[in-house]
Amino acid sequence: MTSDNFNAWLINMGISGLEAARRLGCAKDTITKYKRDGAPEYIGLACSALYHNMKPWEKSRYDD
Does some domain include residue 37? Answer: yes
| Tally of domains in the chain | 1
Does some domain include residue 57? Answer: no
The domain in which residue 19 lies consists of 3-51
Does some domain include residue 60? Answer: no
User: Model pTM?
Assistant: 0.86
Does some domain include residue 26? Answer: yes
**Mind listing the pLDDT tens digit for each residue in 2-23?**
999 999 999 999 999 999 999 9
Does some domain include residue 17? Answer: yes
Instruction: Measure Cα distances from 29 to 17, 21, 34, 43 in Å.
Output: 9, 9, 9, 15
pLDDT of residue 64: 65
More confident residue, 55 or 23: 23
- Position 19: which residue type? E
More confident residue, 43 or 59: 43
pLDDT band, residue 57 (cuts 50/70/90) = confident
Rounded CA separation 37/61 (Å): 41
- Position 22: which residue type? R
